[in-house]
Amino acid sequence: MSVIEDIDPVMAAAAAAAPAAGAATPATRAGWLDAVAKALDACADELVGIADRETRLGGARLSGELVRTTNQLRFFGRIAVEGSYLEVCIDHADPAAVPPRPDLRRMLRPLGPVAVFAASNFPFAFSVAGGDTASALAVGCPVVVKAHPGHPELSRRVAGIMAAALADAGAPDGVFGMVEGFESGPALVTHPTTSAVAFTGSTAGGRALFDLAVGRPDPIPFHGELGSINPVVVLSAADAARGGELADGLAASMLSGVGQFCTKPGVVFVPRRSKVESSIRVTGPLPTMLTPAIQAAFERGIADLISTPGVEVICGDPGGPVVLAADDVAVIRHPALLRTEVFGPVTLLVRYSGEGLSEALRLLEGSLTATVHAEPSDPVEAVSAQLEPLVGRLLFDGWPTGVAVAWSQHHGGPWPASTSQFTSVGATAVRRFLRPVVYQSAPDALLPPALREHNPWGIPRRVDGRIDLPPRMAG
Amino acid sequence: MSVIEDIDPVMAAAAAAAPAAGAATPATRAGWLDAVAKALDACADELVGIADRETRLGGARLSGELVRTTNQLRFFGRIAVEGSYLEVCIDHADPAAVPPRPDLRRMLRPLGPVAVFAASNFPFAFSVAGGDTASALAVGCPVVVKAHPGHPELSRRVAGIMAAALADAGAPDGVFGMVEGFESGPALVTHPTTSAVAFTGSTAGGRALFDLAVGRPDPIPFHGELGSINPVVVLSAADAARGGELADGLAASMLSGVGQFCTKPGVVFVPRRSKVESSIRVTGPLPTMLTPAIQAAFERGIADLISTPGVEVICGDPGGPVVLAADDVAVIRHPALLRTEVFGPVTLLVRYSGEGLSEALRLLEGSLTATVHAEPSDPVEAVSAQLEPLVGRLLFDGWPTGVAVAWSQHHGGPWPASTSQFTSVGATAVRRFLRPVVYQSAPDALLPPALREHNPWGIPRRVDGRIDLPPRMAG
């Protein structure tokens, strides 16, 4: 039996569930997500135990991540019910226009079954019941998750709890499924039933799947969050004023989650002879990483960095958490230093002076985030103007790890940070799984409820060009 | 000199213009578009004369199209000034949240230089100064147009008028450029400076360029509007009640613009022994088509259709405007009949009975539009439910040709109708050329104006989850 045949029953069930999932009201779908959240919360101790055995991320971190995950499920339910995500827009007929304009009513509709690739580093929040799954289900798309091999038992248990909770809540059979095994990944992306892909992982793996998605006879959207360097710039007055504190903040950010965050600060630009460099301390043996493959890649990455001329070890151990440094001239000569993500607890300080900072920044590729630490006397405006085109999130005087789930969040950025103009975290993550449809001159009874004249769902709409808020939202 | 070198100066100028174009206020950019519109209107007689010599579309049609085009330039300026397109979303810091949430402010920013591929069939509205150009400039993206070889003199004249009007209006040098020649197309798509592509044309040509865009080391968005069959379904009570009138409407729609519209109804499902079939009349010799290549493709397309078993000529001449017909069983046996767009004045009636309609509809691929003609006694709900997943616009009792420029318009659809989830006509066309950026914990003075606390542009924003309308829009 080929892998395609292997996943066929799951995909057929997803396809069969799509019409009912798309026709369910946002309130109904929010109910499904709430039910899943409640069921996962009820099994928190068991789930955190399995997760810790499989990932070694620790009970405190994993408990927090599970809370974040179930809150995220409820969050996307609220986004669906609020209704702005439908982007409803109504233009009444204008017989006086030249040519006469018919009645046009636009809204977003679910794309259909979505393939979700779970990540290793957030076994709850970016995995089986994570943000991709929640945002797709919230807007009526069935989901088939490709489980990550780094936490198989947890994946199966979460999937079992989800499937039961969805069934109890009355969701259509097949609205959620899961497949495992390396070969099921390409099979999912190329399966005729799949209408979009959400992926979080490495640049190499993501690119290979992206190429399959866009190489299909019918290309489909591939929303990948791939590699990110997350440059940080410490300007000189900030270094002088609080370099010690910044060193502590940097160490905490690069070490958190054993450096296994997509927003880990990978390159930090500091003035020559900076307080950050002289103050930073990281010690200790390497904690167990997520998988042996990730640990091997970390070791190879460190070896590559250290073998580059001009790179030296500042503190820590090349076999464990480690801070490296190089002068701006060295990284300008070897720009791969600024472009190669090494997943794990390592960061590279780049010592700049004069034009070296601006020249080095020009060599950066796209990232999820960039950060500036500045005092009022620093040239922060010029530096942030140089960083903004490169990133999806620009931080001031903070650290990039930690991605709040909020209306305003954006977790994405120019290539290779992501493969589309969308986000995988925050309210607008739902937009990845929707497509516009316009109804022209449709009888009111044939319109989807969101488009009907009397606005039965009470959602915000644009009518004849003006934003029309329902009474509960106005004033 | 290679083609890449040939286009290098234009691309370098576009890259140089990008920061100033992106930093200009929406009102300033609307001023540029208004200036272009005014300058084109002032040369209307001259432009329509050139266009008619090159396209043979006729003075009346071309005059109307120029008015539509200059109105569209002004429309996108108004969309920019209205400000919703920026999708501004502000979440104030919440120190009480667990973990504490920083101040997050999201907006859309221009992607950078956009390559626009002009179409043959709308020498004004989908060409040099057409909707793609207008929507990109409106949001601050420089534009480089690949001129269509079907109307070279017109392209150069419009480009000259545009460049002069933009310069007079104070737009940055290089914000608009044009290139010509077949080889400049791939060169534009693969040029490192290009950040997105907008294309209107054939499925084969669009797919080739799409493959180049997604095959780049840094893939870029390719917004292509490709082929479309635009199925029409005439249900039996509608045929009985007004089949003669529908036949006239169909003839007018399929013949308008010599059938050279992307929304031409290419397949029309009619009951067996329909009044539509017995009433339809098209006559006369083939008017001059846009280019000899288009005419040759039309002739090949007709020959392919006619040589398919079961296809017969109903009226007209295989060498000119022509209506063909086949039974449902024939198209079910030869589904290419339902999937091959023949650009020009031809349509295929598909005679259905029983389950034949539903079976044949299942064989359709994505289209820009689908249309249902029904009386209250017809099973319109089931048929429209089957058509909706296939299209971007679903019409009731109308004809798909004619695409109003409006807030609610959507001109796109599932593959092969388009290559992305976006539209090339209507207000949301601007979304193709934007990407989100979040500012985290930024000092107010460092924020772009749209994100500053006191809302200096007076635009609609979402603040702490609630839609916040400026006074001029409220109530």
Reported in sequence order, the residue ranges of A173-218 that DSSP labels E, i.e. its strands, are 176-179, 196-200
CB contact under 8 A, B439 and A396: yes
CB contact under 8 A, B438 and A409: yes
Nearest-CB residue to A435 (from B380, B406, B421): B421
pLDDT (mean) for A362-368:
97
Residues of A in contact with B421 (CB under 8 A): 111, 221, 434-436
ipTM of the complex: 0.97
Q: What confidence score (pLDDT) does residue B283 get? A: 87
Per-residue pLDDT of B287-338, as tens digits, reads 999 999 999 999 999 999 999 999 999 999 988 899 999 999 999 999 999 9
The Cα B404–Cα B1 span in angstroms is 43
Residues of B in contact with A89 (CB under 8 A): 407-408, 427
Q: Is the pLDDT of residue A2 over 60?
A: no
Residues of A in contact with B75 (CB under 8 A): none
Residues of A in contact with B434 (CB under 8 A): 421
Q: Is the pLDDT of residue B4 over 60?
A: no
Token couple for B440: 């985290």
Token couple for A10: 């799951």
Per-residue pLDDT of B42-58, as tens digits, reads 999 999 999 999 999 99
Q: How many residues does chain A have?
A: 475
Distances (CA, A) of B226 to A194, A447, B215, B229, B411: 21, 27, 19, 10, 11
Bond before A149 cis per omega within 30 degrees: no
Residues of B in contact with A407 (CB under 8 A): 89, 91, 106, 462, 465
Per-residue pLDDT of A83-110, as tens digits, reads 999 999 999 999 998 889 999 999 999 9
- How crowded is the C-beta side of A430, counted as CA atoms within 13 Å? 31
CB contact under 8 A, B410 and A106: yes
CB contact under 8 A, A410 and B437: yes
- By CA distance, what is A393's nearest residue in B? B438
Say if strands B267-271 and B232-234 run parallel, antiparallel, or are unpaired.
parallel
- By CA distance, what is B210's nearest residue in A? A214
pLDDT (mean) for B395-412:
96
CB contact under 8 A, A391 and B437: yes
CB contact under 8 A, B439 and A394: yes
- Concatenating the DSSP letter of every residue in B87-107 gives --EEE--BTTSSSPBPPEEEE
pLDDT (mean) for B390-405:
96
- By CA distance, what is A459's nearest residue in B? B467
The Cα A204–Cα A266 span in angstroms is 18
Q: Which of A105, A209, A396, A438 to mutate to test the interface with B (most CBs of B within 10 A)?
A: A438
- By CA distance, what is B79's nearest residue in A? A465
Q: What confidence score (pLDDT) does residue A4 get? A: 54
CB contact under 8 A, A397 and B214: no
Q: Of A225, A277, A341, A365, which residue is the catalytic one?
A: A225
Distances (CA, A) of A398 to A132, A234, B461: 26, 11, 25
A157 min Cα distance to partner chain B (Å): 26
The Cα A402–Cα A395 span in angstroms is 12
Question: Which residue ranges form the domains of chain A, and what is each CATH number?
Answer: 3-226+419-435 (3.40.605.10), 232-396 (3.40.309.10)
| Non-local CB neighbours of A291 within 8 Å, separated by 6+ positions | A120, A149, A150
The helix/strand count (H/E) of chain B reads as: 14, 17
Predicted confidence band of residue A390 (pLDDT cuts 50, 70, 90): very high
In three-state secondary structure terms, A401 is coil
Percent of chain B clearing pLDDT 90 (strictly above): 95
> In the annotation, is A225 catalytic?
yes
Token couple for B87: 């999708």
Q: What confidence score (pLDDT) does residue B6 get? A: 83
CB contact under 8 A, A474 and B474: yes
- Concatenating the DSSP letter of every residue in A55-73 gives H---HHHHHHHHHHHHHHH
First to last CA, chain A: 61
Q: Is the pLDDT of residue A1 over 80?
A: no
Predicted confidence band of residue B362 (pLDDT cuts 50, 70, 90): very high
Q: Of B65, B141, B262, B341, which residue is the catalytic one?
A: B262
Nearest to B371 by CA among B334, B340, B402: B402
| Non-local CB neighbours of A347 within 8 Å, separated by 6+ positions | A250, A254, A264, A265, A266, A267, A268, A323, A324
The Cα A361–Cα A100 span in angstroms is 53
The Cα A393–Cα A404 span in angstroms is 12
Q: Helices A59-82 and A131-138: crossing angle, nearest 10°? A: 20
Residues of B in contact with A389 (CB under 8 A): 112
Token couple for B137: 């400039």
Alpha-carbon A330 to chain mean position: 32
**Lowest-confidence region among A125-129, A343-347, A466-470, B2-6:** B2-6
Q: What confidence score (pLDDT) does residue A98 get? A: 81
CB contact under 8 A, A214 and B218: no
Token couple for B344: 């020009």
CB pairs under 8 A between A and B: 206
Q: What mean pLDDT is reported for chain A? A: 96
Predicted confidence band of residue A5 (pLDDT cuts 50, 70, 90): low
Residues of B in contact with A365 (CB under 8 A): 218
Per-residue pLDDT of A251-305, as tens digits, reads 999 999 999 999 999 999 999 999 999 999 998 899 999 999 999 999 999 999 9
- Side chain identity at residue B105, one-letter code: R
Residues of A in contact with B468 (CB under 8 A): none
Q: Which long-range contacts (CB under 8 A, 24 or more apart) does A457-460 make?
A: A457/A25, A457/A26, A457/A83, A458/A83, A459/A82, A459/A83, A459/A84, A459/A86, A459/A88, A460/A82, A460/A83, A460/A84, A460/A88, A460/B467
- By CA distance, what is A91's nearest residue in B? B408
Per-residue pLDDT of A8-38, as tens digits, reads 999 999 999 999 999 999 999 999 999 999 9
Nearest-CB residue to B91 (from A64, A407, A475): A407
Q: Which of B339, B440, B462 to mutate to test the interface with A (most CBs of A within 10 A)?
A: B440
pLDDT (mean) for A353-380:
97
Percent of chain A clearing pLDDT 90 (strictly above): 95
Residues of A in contact with B419 (CB under 8 A): 219
The Cα A429–Cα A420 span in angstroms is 11
Q: Which of A375, A408, A462 to mutate to test the interface with B (most CBs of B within 10 A)?
A: A408
B35 min Cα distance to partner chain A (Å): 22
List phi, psi (to 5°) of B200. Answer: -130, 125
A150 min Cα distance to partner chain B (Å): 26
Nearest to A235 by CA among A268, A197, A199: A268
A211 min Cα distance to partner chain B (Å): 8
Per-residue pLDDT of B67-117, as tens digits, reads 999 999 999 999 999 999 999 999 999 999 888 999 999 999 999 999 999
Nearest-CB residue to A89 (from B221, B407, B466): B407
CB contact under 8 A, A466 and B474: no
Question: E strand or H helix at A33, and its extent?
Answer: helix A26-42
Say if strands A461-463 and A466-468 run parallel, antiparallel, or are unpaired.
antiparallel
Nearest-CB residue to A404 (from B104, B396, B475): B104
Token couple for A257: 């989650």
Q: What confidence score (pLDDT) does residue B1 get? A: 42
pLDDT (mean) for A327-355:
96
Token couple for A317: 């151990």
Confirm if A422 and A223 have CB atoms less than 8 A apart: yes
CB contact under 8 A, A408 and B91: yes
Q: Is the pLDDT of residue B379 over 80?
A: yes
Distances (CA, A) of B413 to B186, B264, B339, B348, B439: 24, 15, 14, 21, 33
List phi, psi (to 5°) of B395. Answer: -105, 150
Nearest-CB residue to B106 (from A104, A112, A408): A408
Q: What confidence score (pLDDT) does residue B318 get? A: 86
First to last CA, chain B: 61
Nearest to A83 by CA among A347, A448, A370, A405: A448
> In the annotation, is B262 catalytic?
yes
The Cα B244–Cα B276 span in angstroms is 6
CB contact under 8 A, A436 and B442: no
pLDDT (mean) for A227-235:
97
The Cα B381–Cα B159 span in angstroms is 47
The Cα A259–Cα A276 span in angstroms is 19
- By CA distance, what is A112's nearest residue in B? B389
